[in-house]
Amino acid sequence: MRSSRNQRGLTDAEIARCLGIWAVLDGPGYCPLDTSLASEHGSRTRYNEEQQTVYLGADVYPGAAVDARSRMSATACLAHECSHADRHVRGYGRPAVEPDSLLDEAEASLNASFYLPLSSLDREDLVADARDRLVDWLAHTRRRNPDES
Ligand SMILES: [Zn+2]
């Protein structure tokens, strides 16, 4: 998950908390959560399709910026990554390059917003993240086809 989120490597207690969140989200039912890089500065939380694994990174925790992607909680962030794994297991294609990767990111956040253990704030942040990525996708697409509107 890219954005201006936390960069500081996670403590053992933070990693343990994330494993707890992962269990509550039923993450282990989709794929493992690998914590081996989480204590490294600047490590990224991401789903790796080839290894069918979510890697826990420093950016699982929010940053100071106010956009949805930066402010969403560790729970919302892990729900987003779990959603990538969930969608991969169901055979959804995942465009790797922009702008269409933005649609995949939006759909992952929207799908994650339906997960039962989430608070209303986490749901709202995931829906707002999906909206922001759709707005970005539309802006890219309009730039590509300036005469069509
Ligand atoms: Zn994502």
Structure tokens at 132: 């922001």
Residues with CB in 5 Å of ion ligand 1:
105
| Residue 3 confidence (pLDDT) | 64
Q: What is the largest CA-CA distance in the chain?
A: 54
Ramachandran class of 91: left when φ > 0, alpha when ψ lies in -120 to 50, beta otherwise: left
State in Å: Cα 47 to ligand 1 middle. 7
* Cα–Cα distance measured from residue 105 to residue 54, given in angstroms and rounded to the nearest whole number: 15
Ligand 1 midpoint to CA 36 (Å): 20
- The pLDDT value recorded for residue 137 is 96
Centroid of ligand 1 to alpha carbon of 81 (angstroms): 6
pLDDT along the chain (149 residues), means of 10: 83 98 96 98 96 98 93 98 95 88 96 96 98 96 73
Give the pLDDT confidence score for residue 100 in this predicted structure: 92
Orientation of helix 74-89 relative to helix 120-144, angle to 10°: 60
Query: Measured on CA atoms in the order 23, 26, 29, 33, is the torsion positive or negative?
Result: negative
The residues, ordered by sequence, that sit 6+ positions from 99 with a Cβ below 8 Å of its Cβ are 136, 137, 140, 141, 144
pLDDT on residue 144: 75
Phi-psi region of 132 (alpha: psi -120 to 50; beta: other; left: phi over 0): alpha
H helices of the chain, in order, are 12-24, 68-71, 74-89, 100-112, 120-144
Expressed in angstroms and rounded, the spacing between residue 13 Cα and the centre of ligand 1 is 24
Q: Look at residue 16 and give its three-state secondary structure.
A: helix
Q: What is the pLDDT of residue 148?
A: 61
